Amino acid sequence: MVSLKGLFLFSASIVCFLSFLSFGFASFTPIDCFLISCGSSKSIQVEDGRVFEPDFGDSDVGLSTNSLISVSNNENGLLSELHNSARVFTKSSVYTISTKQIGRHWLRLHFYAVKNNQHNLKSAVFSVLANGITLLRDFSFSRLGKKEPLLKEYVVEIGGSSSSGNLVLTLSPASGSVAFINGIEVVSMPEGQFDFSVVPIPMGPGFVIPSSVALETVYRVNMGGPKLTPRNDTLWRMWNSDHLFLVNPGSARNVTKDPKSVKYPAGESVDIAPNWVYATAQEMADARVVDQKFNITWAFQVARGFTYFIRMHFCDIVSASLNNLIFDVYINNQTAVDALDVSTKTMALSSAYFVDFAVNMSAGSDKIFVQVGPSNLRNSPANAILNGLEIMKMSSPSNSLDAEFLVHSKNFESSNTKRHVKLAIFATLGGLAGLLLIAMFCFLCFVCFRKPKMVKQKSLSWLSFPNHIGISETKISAGSFASTTPSRALGRIFAFSEIREATKDFDESLVIGVGGFGKVYKGVLENGVMVAVKRGNGKSQQGLVEFRTEIEMLSKLRHRHLVSLIGYCEELNEMILVYEFMAGGPLRKHLYGSDLPHLSWKQRLEICIGAAKGLHYLHTGAAECIIHRDVKTTNILLDEKLTAKVADFGLSKFGPALDQTHVSTAVKGSFGYLDPEYYRRQQLTEKSDVYSFGVVLMEVLCARSAINPSLPREQVNIAEWAMHWQKKGQLEQIIDPYLVGEVSIDSLRKYGETAEKCLAEYGCERPSMGDVLWNLEYALHLQAAARQSLEDENNNTIPDIPYSILRVESGEADEIDIVSHGESDVTTSSGVFSQLINPKGR
Ligand SMILES: *[C@@H]1O[C@H](CO)[C@@H](O)[C@H](O)[C@H]1NC(C)=O
Ligand SMILES: *[C@@H]1O[C@H](CO)[C@@H](O)[C@H](O)[C@H]1NC(C)=O
Ligand SMILES: *[C@@H]1O[C@H](CO)[C@@H](O)[C@H](O)[C@H]1NC(C)=O
Ligand SMILES: *[C@@H]1O[C@H](CO)[C@@H](O)[C@H](O)[C@H]1NC(C)=O
């Protein structure tokens, strides 16, 4: 049943390592690197300098069972020597490669139908599996209709669900046929190459591709640049030129910069893509003409029925200054990135940046369209670029990378020929010198060599093989992965009847808010879950845009400190959004104008920290920086535990229609929060949010509205009034009386400084949300420390209620607030104040 023939065990990675040393160009030294020349009797050095070692098919054994045959043809002058020989299998056979490292590996398979007298390899039909994933199903070289050697590149997981750290590569000939292979590369992948979150198209919440999903490289393209060979790439990848894929070549013009000028930002590996990819791009032909409006479009034929991973590489090599190149990116006519400003991502020109997407090609077209075009935003030059693009097929939930159902060969052919990435490697070295080298290498490298093991197609071990590698687990993760497909990504779709039921037919008594968009109702779903239902008035065009924006925005974003969207309803011209219900309501209500209990300083700090985390995530967590544009105390909601969540993304997106309406909305609706720089220059950056957040901080501290026209003129605007006192170092003069005696002076200082920085006149002087967050956390820390020392001091006398005593004293707070207007009293009151609240000062 199972005879021990056909198993080749390699356990030496020294092979690659030595050859790298001699060629000295690789920055990345993979832990595993197996380069195998199948059926060859000597090691072979290919054009890029790497040396492929023979698979040591034990010719005695192989020939005796007639199942292991190596064929070669030395007349093949033009091709790499790798393609002069092949290992031929008449029965299902296995290569087992035991790697040092588990995790994702590159797997490259070389095929070429070597001419020989024994077998017609061209018409051979066979399947190839790697660790249970079908790479090729009933593959035949002749059906490709091509003469060149074929290189297939995959990413497969080793280890993972199977406990053994082996790559098991199975070649199974169709009945009456043979299987063959010329070369195998197994190279460990650098950490982090595919750890990044993928944004699905159409947009939905980002997700990480489970490592159990295998990938096949379908296209790897260097826009506007030359073809790059494995020699030019630290990971030995091929990059093709993009000319064949440009839909309208006249629309694009290639640009090139010195590759040495390309920078890789901290944290980005040079292995992501060679600098030659980033140093060349296609830009819009005749770019910078006023009012130029078109997209550059590339089209890529793919097989239907799979989800594709798309990685786009960008590098601003065309701008003279930062923030000058802003453009839109589309995949399959859907927005992938809106108003991408590469230079804000990298904070530098000529700096590498990439972003990953996933697109499902189950239905409709079998072409992936990738487009870049000028953004409607602002009067920046109308231009758009793309530097590089990778398209990889993801294995299906049934663990296949080849067409699921082979109806007839025609389908097979059309889907296959176009997918294959082809590679021709030309021989550079050979001869007897090589033979000597092999002998040495063999000796050095193959520490462990076992007798080949051949598994018959229907043997028990063959059938149990999938279990052995833990296929069930693979399926679970593939299943959860499938649940994030775009159609579901936007949340639950509600029937209008469900919404009516939940809100008692939009009962007015359930209205919890009214905004520009419409009314917000409290509702209870069938399952008892409380929700907030935002119902738009369907007539306004602006409403529709905001509606879609909000769905897109919210469903892309998931964060503890962002209000999450549960679903929506678009029935009968209704535009209804269903959110998680925030029992605490808006932050403002807890600060003033209601009889809710007063928030303690610690609670206020925690709320501000929560909101800062939400905004920080908006600015940095998603594929693109998202600017909220309407940060205010009514858009920070609290749940029943007073956890702060940022709400209302209706205005968050860039966009022309929105942009216009927003300026007026903001000026009218959120006056007092508006970034003066934005107001002056109409230029929106995430620092505008930081300014608004500074206003929120002051509001939280002083418990009054951002603008209060009933106050004396100098006090109307909280930002001005608070900054006046902050600059004097006496912010405590105007704080919420309920905080007096509770807030630690150190904590207040830190808080005041942070708010002051947020309110800086120019955006560039303001801190990032991340810095704000850090400073607020520090302020909380100072408060806790002060409280701790206070408690320690009072430990023996009043262990439980030190604050109640302080609060009694703080009854004078009103007076403090009043006297603060008179300069002469300031010193006394602040003296009292600091004595009360700064235990260290006593
Ligand atoms: C760039 O464009 C020029 C002419 O437009 C063409 O001759 C050249 O081959 C192109 N270079 C690349 C790398 O595509
Ligand atoms: C790629 O490598 C080959 C061989 O070393 C070299 O001739 C070619 O100039 C390189 N191409 C680029 C774009 O660096
Ligand atoms: C995108 O639009 C083009 C032209 O408008 C059309 O030919 C193509 O089929 C569309 N692609 C998809 C995926 O909808
Ligand atoms: C670019 O393509 C997208 C998607 O296909 C389309 O919506 C947009 O209108 C196009 N832009 C221009 C300027 O043609």
- 669-720 pLDDT, tens digit per residue, is 356 777 777 766 666 788 889 999 999 999 999 999 888 888 888 888 899 9
Same domain flag for 212 and 355? yes
Q: Is 365 in the pocket of ligand 3 (CB under 6 A)?
A: yes
Out of 429-443, 484-498, 551-565, the most confident range is: 551-565
Q: How far is the CA of 284 from the centre of ligand 4 (A)?
A: 14
pLDDT band for position 60 (50/70/90)?
A: very low
Q: Based on the domain organization, do 216 and 176 belong to the same domain? A: no
254 or 407, higher pLDDT: 254
pLDDT over 80 at 268, yes or no = no
Domain extent, residue 104, equals: 12-188
Q: Which numbered ligand comes closest to the C-alpha of 258?
A: 2
Q: Choose the final residue of a domain: 379, 401, 423.
A: 401
Domain shared by 805 and 743, yes or no: yes
User: For residues 134 and 48, what is the distance between their CA atoms, to the nearest angstrom?
Assistant: 29
Active site residues: 630
Question: Which of 702, 709, 713 lies closest to 820, judged by CA?
Answer: 702
Give the relative orientation of helices 601-620 and 686-702 as an angle to the nearest 10 degrees.
Answer: 170
What pLDDT score does 697 carry?
Answer: 96
Domain annotation covers residue 537: yes
Does residue 486 register a pLDDT over 70?
Answer: no
Pairing of strands 492-493, 199-201: unpaired
535 inside domain:
yes
Same domain, 231 and 173: no
Q: What is the mean pLDDT of residues 767-772?
A: 92
CA–CA separation, 60 and 540 (whole Å): 81
Q: Tell me the pLDDT tens digit for each residue of 285-298.
A: 875 555 677 899 99
Of 188, 207, 222, the residue that ends a domain is 188
Do 381 and 504 have their domain in common?
A: no
Q: Are residues 108 and 179 in the same domain?
A: yes
Of the pLDDT bands very low, low, confident and very high (cuts 50, 70, 90), residue 447 is: very low
Residues touching ligand 4 (Cβ under 6 Å) are: 293-295, 330, 333, 371, 373
161, 33: one domain: yes
Which residues neighbour 103 within 8 Å (Cβ) at sequence distance 6 or greater?
157, 158, 159, 160, 188, 189, 211
CATH code of 573's domain: 3.30.200.20
**Inside any domain, residue 369:** yes
The residue whose CA is least distant from atom 14 of ligand 4 is: 294
The residue whose CA has the least distance to atom 9 of ligand 2 is: 232
Each residue of 305-333: b (16+ CB within 10 Å) or e? bbbbbbbbbbbbbbbeeeeebbbbbbbbe
What total number of domains does the chain contain? 4
460 inside domain: no
Determine, yes or no, domain membership for 430: no
Pocket perturbation via mutation, ligand 4, pick of 293, 371, 548 by most ligand atoms within 8 A of CB: 371
From ligand 4's centre to the CA of 302, what distance in Å?
Answer: 22
Most confident of 395-404, 446-455, 587-596: 587-596
Helices (H), 389-454: 409-417, 431-445
Residues 26 and 94 both lie in one domain? yes
Phi and psi angles of residue 658, each rounded to the nearest 5 degrees, phi first = -65, -40
Q: Determine the residue of 248, 329, 330 to mutate for testing ligand 4's pocket, defined as the one with the most ligand atoms within 8 A of the Cβ atom.
A: 330
- Statement: residue 726 has pLDDT above 50: yes
pLDDT tier at 304 (50, 70, 90 boundaries)?
confident
Tell me if residue 628 falls in helix, strand or coil.
coil
CATH number at residue 592: 1.10.510.10
CB 356 within 8 A of CB 278: no
- CATH label of the domain that carries residue 138: 2.60.120.430
Same domain, 525 and 606: no
pLDDT digit string, tens, across residues 362-394: 877 889 999 999 887 656 678 899 999 999 999
* pLDDT > 70 in the chain, percent: 69
pLDDT over threshold 50, residue 413: no
Q: What is the pLDDT of residues 72-119, one digit of tens each?
A: 666 555 567 788 888 888 888 888 888 888 888 999 999 988 887 788
Residue 644 maps to a domain: yes
Residue 517 in domain? yes
pLDDT of residue 332: 93
- Gap between the Cα atoms of 360 and 332, Å rounded: 10
- The ligand 3 atom at the shortest distance from the C-alpha of residue 333 is 1
534 is in an annotated binding site: yes
Cα–Cα nearest to 137, from 150, 149, 128: 128
Choosing from 25, 232, 238 the residue with most ligand 2 atoms within 8 A of its CB, the one to mutate for a pocket test is 232
Minimal CA–CA distance to 687: which of 761, 589, 798? 761
Q: What is the pLDDT, as a whole number, of residue 161?
A: 62
Last residue of a domain, one of 156, 188, 220: 188
* Rounded alpha-carbon distances, angstroms, from residue 275 to 25, 44, 106: 14, 29, 21
Q: 486 CA to middle of ligand 3, Å?
A: 18
Whether 829 shows a pLDDT value over 70: the answer reads no
Regarding pTM above 0.85, the answer is no
**685 and 627 in contact (C-beta within 8 Å)?**
yes
For ligand 2, the distance from its centroid to the CA atom of residue 23, given in whole angstroms, is 14
User: Is 565 in the same domain as 600?
Assistant: no
Mean pLDDT of the chain: 73
* 478 in any annotated domain: no
Is the same domain home to 79 and 144? yes
**What DSSP state is assigned to residue 416?**
H
**pLDDT value for 690:** 94
Asked whether residue 599 falls in the same domain as residue 541, the answer is no
Q: Which of 21-30, 48-57, 323-332 has the lowest mean pLDDT?
A: 21-30
Q: Has residue 1 got a pLDDT over 60? A: no
